[in-house]
């Protein structure tokens, strides 16, 4: 029996994000909210472990109230319970503040052997929450997992680094962050999603996890967002004219300016 | 009050990457009038770092630091950071670095900005301004860390390596921080065969379609890919009908989906099936001799021309740039 | 000369107790027969039950129109002719035998008269002799086909050898017996049994009247064979005699184009219980009617011969799929073991384009698509799909279009055009449903722009839904995600009601089919018209006038979902004819025999295990007509053929063009004022 906590984040479908030409702001209206891909991998892995070893899976998400949809999908895939951490006071959280809330939630749940999360989220690509959470909960961390095997309290993880693959061993409880190669997540049908509303979902606020204002949101963050600037919009559709040599020159110069070509 | 030291620390478990960090670190430490400090686990690498500009190297020659492992390195670096109180720590954003940096930052209860695209000191030289890209590439956020040390993870290739100066002098500080046994045991490690980067992982992709007339002509595309440092991809007919390339290199609706920084489509018309595979590319460039080819609608830059003429010229141009 | 009316001598040359012995023996065979039928029907009923005999009149009519008339059988001329010979031959012989039975055992008892007398009897004898020959001819052709010619997908089994042999021997011995009787009795009307008569002459010439001594043995031999053949019916493929009419009787009465509906989402939402088993994974999950249909297969191979997936050498062959299901049913009657994997490979199920050529061809009314979609539903329910299928379904649910392109971009195709949304212009005559392909695929955006040109020229007040338009998820239904389809249907119907939509115009046959045939079940009550119908009517009524085009040779590809599914063939052709000096050259397989482009059944969105490509096979067929235009009426056909054109890469290939584009090019500019 292995009780697992899976971290799930609802993100905007980043491929659909665009800059509005007039307001020069990122348009989020009409952009679908989806479960971050690697979190689906995390859920799938948890479900496979449960199918093999038994146990309970609790999916946790921290976000606005809409994140409940992400948890429904998690339940439909096979999680047993869901917890939504939502509170206006969470807004403005950096990775540390997010991890603090998650750590408090995880501590409140108490009964877990394994935390599985995605190595990074599809909107931020920060790679931080997993290791910070592991540090806060004093758990060993296994990152970039492509395979997880459990034998009693022993855990064996295959990891994917740039130039090598590792097989490491450790003991439960621990935190594992997964990458997309680990599995193909199952797709819940609409029926499964509708049926999942029967599974228990708790909604916790800052009070439920006993954190004070100074530990949350903007105040509780260790790094601060000074400013953000809009970087690009739609495809530029620039046709580089001229004879071959001229066009090529214009292209290389443009690509250098874009920062995608070295030189 | 004693003057605060504002040393810039750099660390990467990969020496070549560390040299890049030293390059930028040097600029920063000069601006701050402080020392550039590297972290090394062998005296040979300590000497290398000094030759590459480090003013000081903290050397910890500990058996548990032989192989990179997040627990041991976090123990070592956190104790040293608490002792020496650096201004900032630049960590190479390898996968190892990315798992080390946040854990170390949490232990030090400090801020960390990962995958930075730019680091500069602010006007008052009080903070490091660290930029990163979010929202699918649409936003550039500028962050600072509210506490010290300010930690940033720096991708490979962002900064140039510092110049090698064999006569540069520096100080090696031998340290012996307490390092606990790691919580994980490495059972096995295997090098990955560098068969070439998979298109799904590649940061630069050069892709071709039916514009390439003969199988022998593929070499033109491969040469260009090599020159620009990219992986080779193709459209569906090349892989499925002609079988000039294996399926793993076919990019499209029922093939691979890619998200490189740079995608070059050569002789690809741009049917919707292909576009759905390349949408997430940061910059798309197309070369096609049909001015009405749909690919141009989906590109940032396009050249209307014969790819048999354009590609060789482009390959030369890119090679020239790499040389300079 | 004795003056007697021509009549039939009952049990001629046979001892007195023959009837008694015969009926006793027959009853034994009858028991075997009845038991066999019972066993088979019991096997069907082990499946999920669901007895439907509503609208009995239409059902019975369907049996006559489809089965008894042999209408579908004769669609293929040569084998149809062959079967017709066997069918008619045995039908007449059966009637003949029944007449004998009625005559001797009923009529004479009750009415003290005989039917088989006089001129009627003479005609009777001549007919039976003639049709016996007909039957023999048919059987000989059948044997020749299965053993010598061996066309593709026509397996030869022990069953076939047994049946053909026994029937042939029955017929031949029948003639011999007739010959013997005529040789011995020599009635004046002998020549009317013209075959038997010649046999009798031959016998007399060679053996003489003593040939009568072998008659009783031959008679018993013939009777035994006949009874065996009858008893064998429920144990061999002869059972199609019973299953075909029953299958036609109980076949679903849904309109063509409407897939089966395994649950009603509205009911489930009301009850809150979503724990419904969807899809078939074991043979027991199929309804009894479907199981009956699997058993009806005569392995004629026609379905596989017209199947595009089979032509492309995918793992799918519709006949083999059905036969595999039948075999599982026969061997594991109460089975709960999974079909998919051990018996049916997943790839067989995914390779189906739902083009309906198989169902259209099947003479015994098997619905292969129903079975395939049923099994797909199970696979979808398990959720273990490859990435492309997952992406498709994720795209539908998060982006409301199968491409996964931004919802906010839905109206980009109309940039610069005078197109109003329903929100901007709620008082419209027609809602122009652009569809996902017409909205997002650049190739088909051109068709949408052509449609706008046509609509303006004809001065039609139309609106589009713009960013409110969402995929109707027809593709989800075909791939087996029924829930998502129904959810989308309910949402869209509500949206249509909000804008009081009366008529929807679409350029996509898939949208057309689903709106027309599948949406009424969920409460829709609007008209839907396909753009070819619409444009043809505009031209005919004079609302749209065209300049005269240049000389063209055009071949038209009938989209499966417009043609075979909805019987719309002529509108496109009438449009093409009005484009000027246009010669229409039909491809070999056209109209209801059209060969799929390969995109249907969700195949456009994922990769299928195949050796050839369906769209290239069809494109070659188009090239063979040496036309300079391949006209299409479906965005997916257009996309598939453009892809094929790129693969073929030849300058002599026809240009692929939607009918609307051809029309828009010829609109007289004066129409816009």
Predicted confidence (pLDDT) per residue in A170-192, tens digit? 999 999 999 988 999 999 999 99
- How many other β-carbons are positioned within 10 Å of the β-carbon of residue C237? 20
What average pLDDT does range B265-292 have in this prediction? 89
* Token pair recorded at residue C336: 């709960």
pLDDT (0 to 100) of residue C1: 41
Determine contact: A12 vs chain C, CB below 8 A: no
The CATH number of B199-323 is 3.40.50.1220
The answer to whether the Cβ–Cβ distance between B237 and C646 falls below 8 Å is: yes
Is residue B96 less than 8 Å (CB to CB) from chain C? no
C-alpha B251/C-alpha C388 separation (Å) is 12
Query: Which of A32, A184, A187 lies nearest to residue C393, judging by beta carbons?
Result: A187
* Cα angle for residues B208, B213, B219 (degrees, 5° grid): 60
**Distance between CA A112 and CA A8 in Å, rounded?**
16
**pLDDT one-digit tens code per residue, B285-298:** 999 998 988 899 88
Phi first, then psi, for residue B305 (nearest 5°) are: 180, 175
Please check the confidence at residue C391 and state whether its pLDDT lies above 70. Answer: yes
- The pLDDT confidence band at residue B299, using thresholds 50, 70 and 90, is very high
Domains of chain A are 2-215 (3.40.50.620), 233-263 (no CATH)
Per-residue pLDDT, B156: 81
Cβ–Cβ contact B271 with C under 8 A: yes
Tokens of C398: 């998060």
- How far apart, in whole angstroms, are the C-alpha atoms of residue B121 and residue B128? 5
Cβ atoms of residues C257 and C517 within 8 Å: yes
Mutate to test the interface with C, among B276, B293, B298 (most CBs of C within 10 A): B276
**Mean pLDDT to the nearest integer, B174-198:** 86
Nearest 10 degrees: Cα torsion C152, C155, C156, C162:
-130
Residues C485/A196, Cβ–Cβ less than 8 Å: no
Choose, out of C647, C653, C655, the residue to mutate when testing the contact with B (most B CBs < 10 Å): C647
Residue B301 forms contact with A (CB below 8 Å): yes
Confidence of residue A233 (pLDDT cuts 50, 70, 90): low
pLDDT digits (tens, 9 = 90+) for B87-127: 999 999 999 999 999 999 999 999 999 989 899 999 888 88
- Tokens 């309290």, residue located: A153
From CA C184, how far away is CA C475, in angstroms rounded? Answer: 73
> Is there a contact between A190 and C487 if contact means CB atoms under 8 Å apart?
yes
* Average of per-residue pLDDT across C298-323: 95
Q: Kind of pairing, strands A154-160 and A164-171?
A: antiparallel
- CA–CA gap between residue A18 and residue B135 (Å, rounded): 9
Q: What does the alpha-carbon distance between residue B159 and residue B164 come to, in Å, rounded to a whole number?
A: 15
**A190 vs C404: CB contact, 8 Å cut-off?**
no
Report residue C581: phi and psi, to 5°: -75, 75
Tens-digit pLDDT profile for residues B30-60: 999 999 999 999 999 999 999 999 999 999 9
B129, B201, B300, B324: best to mutate for the A interface, most A CBs within 10 A: B300
Helix extents (H) in C103-193: 108-111, 118-144, 158-185
How many CB pairs (< 8 A) connect A and C? 74
Own/partner pairs, C622-625, CB within 8 angstroms, 24+ separation: C622/C555, C622/C557, C622/C587, C622/C653, C622/C654, C623/C648, C623/C650, C623/C652, C623/C653, C623/C654, C624/C587, C624/C588, C625/C553, C625/C555, C625/C585, C625/C586, C625/C587, C625/C654
Cα–Cα dist C300/C73, whole Å: 10
Q: How far is CA C383 from CA A35, A191, C481, in A?
A: 16, 12, 10
Report the helix count and the strand count for chain B, using DSSP H and E: 8, 16
Interval A130-137 mean pLDDT: 97
- Alpha helices, H only, A78-237: 95-109, 129-136, 190-195, 217-220
State which residue of chain B sits closest to C405, comparing Cα positions.
B276
Each residue's pLDDT tens digit, C345-377: 999 999 999 999 999 999 988 999 999 999 999
Chains touching B by CB (3 or more pairs below 8 Å): A, C
What residue of A is the nearest CA neighbor of B117?
A259
Contact B240, B247 (CB under 8 A): yes
Mean pLDDT of C426-447: 96
The neighbouring-strand residues paired with A27 are: A18
- Between C341 and C131, residue with greater pLDDT: C131
Interface of C with A in 582-621 (CB under 8 A): none
The token pair at C614 is 């369906």
Q: Which range, B153-167, C159-173, C604-618, has the best average confidence (pLDDT)?
A: C604-618
* pTM for this model (two decimals): 0.89
Strand-strand pairing, B262-266 and B204-208: parallel
Question: Is any Cβ of chain A less than 8 angstroms from the Cβ of B193?
Answer: no
Distances (CA, A) of B205 to B146, B230, C52, C505: 39, 5, 59, 42
CA distance C4 to A186: 85
Contact A194 C404 (CB under 8 A): no
C343, two tokens: 């018996």
- Which DSSP string do the residues of C584-624 spell out, in sequence order? E---SS-GGGPPP-S-TTTGGGS----SS-HHHHHHHHHHH
CB contact under 8 A, B272 and C443: yes
DSSP per position, C269-333: HHHT------S--SGGGSBHHHHHHHHT-----HHHHH-HHHHTT-S--HHHHHHHHHHHHHHST
Residues whose CB falls within 8 Å of the CB of residue B118, separated by 6 or more in sequence, listed in order: B129, B130, B131
Q: C501 vs chain A: nearest CA distance in angstroms?
A: 24
Alpha-carbon gap: A160 to the closest alpha carbon of chain B (Å):
9
What pLDDT band is residue C190 in, cutting at 50, 70 and 90? confident
Decide if B253 touches C, using CB distance below 8 A.
yes
Asked if the Cβ–Cβ distance from C384 to A27 is below 8 Å, we say no
Reduce the DSSP state of residue B123 to 3 states and report it. coil
Q: Maximum CA pair distance of chain A?
A: 69
A262:B157 CB<8 A: yes
Instruction: Give the closest of A130, A171, A222 to B109, CB-based.
Output: A222
Residues A197, A200, A206, CA angle at the centre, nearest 5°? 115
Share of residues in chain B with pLDDT > 90 (%) = 66
Tokens 């001015």, located at residue: B291
Tell me, what's the ipTM? 0.90
d(CA C222, CA C166): 10
Q: Which residue has the tokens 């089994």?
A: C157
**Residue C240 to residue C72: CA distance in whole angstroms:** 14
| Partner-chain residue, chosen from A14, A125, A238, that has the shortest CB–CB distance to B301 | A238
CA-wise closest residue to C262 among C272, C252, C270: C252
| Backbone phi, psi, residue B118, to 5° | -165, 140
How many CA within 13 A on the CB side of residue A172? Answer: 19
Q: What is the pLDDT of residue C48?
A: 64
Scan residues 40-59 of B and list those with Cβ closer than 8 Å to A: none
Q: How far is CA B214 from CA A21, A58, A244, in A?
A: 44, 56, 22
pLDDT at C562 over 80: yes
Tokens of C402: 């199968």
User: A21 near A57, Cβ under 8 Å?
Assistant: no
Q: How high is the pLDDT of residue C322?
A: 96
Where do the CATH 3.40.50.1220 domains begin and end in chain B? 199-323
- β-partners of residue B92 are B154
Q: Are B128 and B149 in contact (CB under 8 A)?
A: no
Judged by average pLDDT, the poorest of C22-26, C39-43, C110-114 is C110-114
What distance in Å separates the CA atoms of residue B225 and residue B205, rounded to the nearest whole number? 7
Comparing alpha-carbon positions, the chain A residue that sits nearest to C269 is A194
**Nearest C-alpha in C relative to B210:** C646
Chain B: closest CA distance from residue C332 (Å): 38
Distance from CA of B294 to the nearest CA of C (A): 7
Q: Of the candidates C393, B112, C350, which has an alpha carbon nearest to the alpha carbon of residue A94?
A: B112
Please determine, for residue B321, whether its predicted confidence score (pLDDT) is greater than 90: no
For A28-46, the pLDDT digits (tens) are 888 999 999 999 999 999 9
CB C196 within 8 A of CB C174: no
C126: which DSSP letter?
A: H
Q: How far is A69 from chain C (nearest CA, A)?
A: 11
Q: Does the domain made of B8-174 have the CATH classification 3.30.70.20?
A: no
Preferred mutation among B213, B253, B273 to probe C, highest tally of C CBs within 10 A: B253
* Residue that wins the pLDDT comparison between C459 and C157: C459
Q: Where in chain B is the domain with CATH 3.40.50.620?
A: 8-174
The pLDDT tens digits of the residues spanning B237-253 come to: 888 888 899 888 999 88
pLDDT for C339 beyond 90:
no
DSSP B225: H
Q: How, if at all, do strands A238-239 and B301-304 pair?
A: parallel
Instruction: Using the predicted structure, report yes or no on whether residue C334 has a pLDDT greater than 70.
Output: no
> CA of A231, closest CA in chain C: separation in Å?
19
Q: Which of C442, C616, C646 faces B210 most closely, judged by CB atoms? A: C646
* DSSP tag of A17: -
Tokens representing C245 are 């009419």
Q: Do the chains contact at B269 and C440, CB–CB below 8 Å?
A: no
CB contact under 8 A, A189 and C383: yes
Q: How far is B161 from chain A (nearest CA, A)?
A: 14
Looking at per-residue pLDDT, the higher value among C449 and C183 belongs to C449
Least CB-CB distance to B272: which of C388, C391, C403? C403
| Pair C511, C435: CB distance under 8 Å | yes
pLDDT value for B1: 42
């Amino acid at each position: 029996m292995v009780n697992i906590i899976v971290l799930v984040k609802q993100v905007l479908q980043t491929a659909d994000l665009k800059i509005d030409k007039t307001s020069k702001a990122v348009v989020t209206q009409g952009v679908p909210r989806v479960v971050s891909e690697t979190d689906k991998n995390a859920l799938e892995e948890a479900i496979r472990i449960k199918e093999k070893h038994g146990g309970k899976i609790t999916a946790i998400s921290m976000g606005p109230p809409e994140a409940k949809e992400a948890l429904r999908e998690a339940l439909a895939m096979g999680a047993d319970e869901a917890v939504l951490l939502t509170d206006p006071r969470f807004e403005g959280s950096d990775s540390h503040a997010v991890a603090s809330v998650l750590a408090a939630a995880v501590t409140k749940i108490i009964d877990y052997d394994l935390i599985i999360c995605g190595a990074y989220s599809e909107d931020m690509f920060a790679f931080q929450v997993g290791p910070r959470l592991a540090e806060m909960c004093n758990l060993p961390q296994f990152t970039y997992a492509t395979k997880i095997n459990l034998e009693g309290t022993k855990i064996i993880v295959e990891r994917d680094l740039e130039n090598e693959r590792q097989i490491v061993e450790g003991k439960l409880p621990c935190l594992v962050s997964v990458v997309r190669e680990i599995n193909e997540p199952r797709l819940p049908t609409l029926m499964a999603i509708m049926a999942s509303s029967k599974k228990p979902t708790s909604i916790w606020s800052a009070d439920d996890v006993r954190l004070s204002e100074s530990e949350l949101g903007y105040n509780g963050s260790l790094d601060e967002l000074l400013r953000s600037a809009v970087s690009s919009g739609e495809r530029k559709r620039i046709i580089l004219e001229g004879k071959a040599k001229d066009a090529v020159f214009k292209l290389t110069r443009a690509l250098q300016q874009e920062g995608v070509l070295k030189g | 009050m004693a003057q605060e030291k504002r040393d810039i620390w750099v660390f990467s478990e990969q020496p070549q990457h560390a040299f890049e960090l030293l390059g930028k670190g040097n600029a920063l430490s000069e601006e701050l009038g402080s020392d550039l400090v590297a972290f090394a686990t062998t005296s040979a690498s300590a000497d290398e770092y000094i030759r590459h500009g480090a003013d000081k190297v903290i050397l910890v020659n500990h058996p548990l630091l032989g192989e990179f492992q997040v627990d041991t390195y976090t123990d070592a670096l956190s104790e040293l950071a608490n002792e020496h109180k650096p201004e900032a720590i630049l960590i190479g954003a390898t996968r190892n670095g990315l798992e080390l940096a946040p854990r170390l930052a949490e232990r030090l209860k400090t801020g960390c900005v990962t995958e930075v695209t730019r680091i500069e000191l602010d006007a008052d030289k009080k903070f490091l301004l660290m930029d990163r890209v979010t929202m699918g590439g649409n936003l550039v956020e500028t962050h600072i860390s509210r506490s010290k040390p300010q930690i940033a993870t720096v991708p490979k290739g962002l900064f140039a390596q510092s110049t090698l100066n064999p006569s540069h002098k520096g100080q090696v500080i031998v340290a012996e921080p307490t390092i606990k046994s790691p919580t994980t045991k490495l059972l096995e490690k295997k090098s990955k065969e560098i068969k070439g980067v998979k298109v799904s992982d590649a940061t630069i992709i050069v892709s071709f379609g039916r514009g390439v007339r003969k199988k022998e002509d593929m070499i033109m595309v491969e040469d260009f890919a090599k020159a620009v440092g990219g992986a080779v991809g193709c459209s569906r007919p090349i892989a499925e009908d002609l079988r000039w390339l294996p399926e793993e290199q076919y990019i499209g609706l029922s093939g691979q989906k890619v998200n490189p920084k740079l995608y070059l489509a050569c002789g690809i018309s741009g049917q919707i099936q292909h576009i759905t595979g390349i949408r997430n590319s940061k910059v798309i460039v197309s070369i096609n001799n049909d001015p009405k080819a749909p690919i141009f609608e989906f590109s940032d830059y396009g050249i209307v021309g014969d790819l048999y003429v354009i590609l060789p010229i482009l390959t030369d141009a890119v090679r020239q740039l790499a040389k300079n | 000369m004795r003056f007697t009316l021509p009549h039939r001598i009952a049990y001629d040359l046979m001892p007195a107790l023959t009837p008694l012995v015969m009926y006793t023996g027959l009853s034994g065979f009858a028991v075997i027969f009845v038991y066999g039928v019972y066993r088979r029907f019991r096997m069907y009923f082990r499946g999920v039950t669901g007895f439907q005999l509503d609208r009995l009149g239409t059902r019975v009519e369907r049996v006559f129109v489809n089965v008894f008339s042999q209408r579908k059988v004769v669609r293929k001329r040569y084998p149809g002719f062959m079967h017709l010979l066997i069918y008619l031959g045995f039908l007449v012989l059966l009637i003949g035998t029944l007449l004998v039975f009625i005559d001797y055992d009923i009529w004479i008892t009750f009415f003290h008269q005989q039917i088989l007398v006089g001129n009627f009897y003479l005609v009777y004898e001549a007919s039976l002799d003639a049709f016996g020959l007909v039957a023999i001819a048919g059987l000989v052709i059948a044997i020749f086909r299965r053993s010598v010619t061996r066309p593709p997908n026509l397996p030869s089994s022990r069953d076939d050898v047994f049946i053909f042999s026994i029937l042939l021997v029955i017929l031949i011995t029948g003639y011999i017996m007739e010959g013997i009787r005529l040789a011995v009795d020599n009635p004046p009307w002998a020549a009317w049994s013209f075959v038997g008569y010649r046999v009798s002459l031959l016998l007399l010439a060679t053996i003489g009247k003593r040939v009568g001594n072998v008659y009783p043995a031959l008679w018993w031999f013939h009777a035994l064979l006949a009874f065996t053949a009858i008893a064998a019916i429920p144990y061999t493929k002869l059972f199609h005699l019973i299953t075909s009419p029953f299958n036609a009787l109980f076949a679903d009465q849904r309109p063509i184009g409407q897939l089966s509906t395994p649950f009603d989402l509205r009911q489930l939402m009301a009850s809150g219980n979503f724990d419904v088993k969807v899809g078939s994974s074991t043979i027991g999950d199929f309804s009894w009617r479907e199981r009956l249909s699997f058993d009806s297969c005569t392995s004629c191979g026609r379905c596989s011969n017209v199947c595009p997936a089979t032509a492309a050498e995918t793992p799918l062959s519709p006949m083999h799929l059905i036969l595999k299901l039948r075999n599982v049913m026969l061997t594991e009657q109460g089975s709960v073991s999974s079909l998919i994997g051990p018996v049916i490979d997943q790839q067989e199920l995914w390779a189906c384009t739902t083009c309906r050529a198989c169902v259209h061809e099947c003479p015994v009314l098997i619905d292969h698509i129903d079975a395939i979609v049923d099994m797909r539903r199970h696979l979808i329910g398990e959720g273990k799909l490859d990435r492309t299928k997952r992406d498709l379904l994720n795209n539908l649910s998060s982006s409301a279009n199968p491409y996964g392109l931004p919802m906010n971009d839905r109206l980009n195709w109309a940039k610069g055009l005078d197109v109003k949304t329903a929100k901007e212009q709620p008082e419209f005559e027609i809602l122009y449903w652009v569809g996902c392909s017409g909205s997002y695929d650049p190739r088909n955006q051109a068709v949408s722009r052509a449609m706008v040109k046509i609509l303006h020229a004809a001065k039609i007040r139309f609106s589009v839904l713009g960013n409110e338009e969402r995929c109707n998820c027809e593709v989800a239904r075909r791939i087996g995600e029924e829930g998502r389809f129904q959810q989308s249907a309910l949402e869209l119907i509500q949206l249509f009601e909000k804008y009081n939509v009366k008529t929807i115009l679409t350029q996509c046959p898939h949208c057309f089919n689903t709106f027309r045939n599948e949406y009424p079940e969920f409460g829709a009550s609007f008209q839907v018209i396909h753009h070819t119908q619409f444009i043809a009517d505009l031209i005919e009524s004079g609302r749209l006038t065209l300049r005269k085009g240049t000389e063209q040779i055009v071949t038209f590809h009938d989209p499966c979902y417009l043609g075979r599914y909805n019987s719309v063939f002529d509108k496109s052709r009438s449009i093409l004819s009005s484009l000027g000096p246009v010669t229409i050259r039909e491809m070999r397989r056209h109209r209801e025999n059209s060969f799929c482009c390969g995109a249907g059944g969700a195949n456009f969105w994922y990769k299928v295990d195949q050796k050839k490509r369906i769209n290239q096979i069809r494109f070659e067929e188009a090239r063979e007509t040496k036309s300079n235009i391949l006209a299409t009426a479906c965005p997916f056909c257009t996309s598939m053929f453009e892809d094929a054109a790129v693969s073929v890469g030849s300058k002599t290939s026809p240009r692929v063009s939607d009918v609307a584009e051809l029309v828009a090019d010829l609109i007289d500019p004066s129409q816009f004022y």
